[in-house]
Amino acid sequence: MSFTDPGLPVPEGLRTEEFVLRPIRADDAELDYRALMETRELLRLWEQSSWPADDFTVEANREDLLGLEQRHDAHRAFTFTVLDPTGTECRGCVYLFPTTAAFLARSAVTALGDDDWSQVDAVVYFWARLVQMKAGMDARLLDALRAWFAAEWRFTNAVYVTNEQFREQVELLEATDLELKFELVEPGKPGKYLVFG
């Protein structure tokens, strides 16, 4: 059964001593914008695009977040903002997709072993704000996500995706017990995405 089944409940979020995850909303635009713009050079590698552009605005971000909010509410994919415990600072973002998401369905996925892409429960992308990466929060976020997905989402085969050019995140994933399972190429994007599971 797909985790996007509208009949299944979606976990409301996750709280640790260091951060809180909750569904992203359009009203998060200003907090999210500050984190995006601080981290934009790395996000451009991660996205393999010019996003966010230097002239990106809070209002344009609000429009993007409205789309993410609607997608979340419709159970098509799920986006969680990562906030500090007081809810006053954005520390990153987490995105969960089914393998049937349109952009993934258009992508070329190559298995590097015997793994079957159709058996993947969820495709996870995440980023941490630059200052938080420097403090190692991205590693702690990954640990928390893995435990949360196993306990509350009941995923047995979630995979974590980054771009080969985002060396900091590649090294983070390589330092865990996760293994490189697939390579993914999105149409029109120059670099490969690496999929760990």
Q: How does the average pLDDT of the chain come out, rounded?
A: 95
Q: Taking the model in full, what pTM does it have?
A: 0.96
- At 133, the pLDDT band (50, 70, 90 cuts) reads very high
Picking from 21, 35, 92, 32, the residue whose alpha carbon sits closest to that of residue 66 is 32
Per the structure, the complete domain to which residue 180 belongs is given by 15-196
Tell me, yes or no, whether 3 lies in a domain.
Answer: no
pLDDT average, residue stretch 26-36: 98
Tell me, yes or no, whether 1 lies in a domain.
Answer: no
What pLDDT sits at residue 8?
84
pLDDT at 24 over 90: yes
Q: Mutual orientation of helices 29-38 and 58-73 as an angle, nearest 10°?
A: 110
What CATH number has the domain bearing residue 112? Answer: 3.40.630.30
180 residue type, one letter: L
Tell me, yes or no, whether 36 lies in a domain.
Answer: yes
Structure tokens at 179: 């293994």
Structural domains in the chain (count): 1
Share of the chain above pLDDT 70, in %: 99
Tell me, yes or no, whether 6 lies in a domain.
Answer: no
pLDDT average, residue stretch 116-138: 96
What pLDDT sits at residue 36?
97
Which of 2-11, 66-75, 183-192 comes out lowest in average pLDDT? 2-11
* DSSP annotation of 188: T
pLDDT at 1 over 70: no
- Whether omega before 52 lies within 30 degrees of 0, making that bond cis, reads yes
Strand partners, 184: 109, 193
Tell me, yes or no, whether 119 lies in a domain.
Answer: yes
Tell me, yes or no, whether 105 lies in a domain.
Answer: yes
Tell me, yes or no, whether 2 lies in a domain.
Answer: no
What pLDDT sits at residue 72?
95
pLDDT at 77 over 70: yes
pLDDT at 97 over 90: yes
